[in-house]
Structure 1
Amino acid sequence: MAWVTTSELVAEMVANVLRVEVEEGDAVAIGDTVVLLESMKMEIPIIAEVAGTVSAIKVSAGDVVQEGDVLVELTNR
């Protein structure tokens, strides 16, 4: 029996979504940039902290996100 877990990547501050670097179904490794945010003229990469497969993308380029908003969900086994 394989255990499946889901990890959520969240915004750490209010920001604009510049780019989503992945698509649903993509495999990501630890350290991969999945979303690029912009706040106060600074670019903030959102990095995968676990390896897995992108199971859901909750934002699009141009969106404004709030602190704690889920950006991407990863599923890993």
Structure 2
Amino acid sequence: MESVRAEMVAGVLGVEVAEGDVVAAGQTLLLLESMKMEIPVVPEGPGRVVRVAVGPGDVVQEGDLLVVLEAAGGAAQAPGAARR
């Protein structure tokens, strides 16, 4: 399992996935907003969404949990696999 965490203080504009969804590398998981910039949060590799920890309108701090992913094939993704 991989915990996708916020890289900065931001507002959650939208969540594009739900628990149980299978996602592709580069697919937008959610959209954050910081300093009037929209920042998509995407995984580097494919996987399945195990948990979505935030919702639209939430404000997250650096390091807050956003999404938990299970890598395709059930193996854990490398730490830091989610990038904006």
Instruction: Normalising by structure 1, report the TM-score.
Output: 0.89
Given the alignment, which residue of 50, 54, 58 partners 1:55?
50
Given the alignment, which residue of 15, 22, 44 partners 1:20?
15
Question: Match for 1:47: what amino acid?
Answer: V
Gaps of 5+ in 1: 1-5
Given the alignment, which residue of 62, 66, 72 partners 2:67?
72
Q: Report which of the two has the higher share of strand.
A: 1
Give the number of aligned pairs.
72
**Cα displacement string for residues 15-53 of structure 1 (whole angstroms, at most 9, x for unaligned residues):** 000000000000001101101000000000001122110
Runs of 4+ in 1 over 6 A off after TM superposition: none
CA distance in 1, matches of 2:45, 2:6: 16
Look up the match of 1:36.
31
How far has the Cα of 1:10 moved from its partner?
1.1
Gaps of 5+ in 2: 75-84
Instruction: Normalising by structure 2, report the TM-score.
Output: 0.82
CA distance in 2, matches of 1:32, 1:61: 18
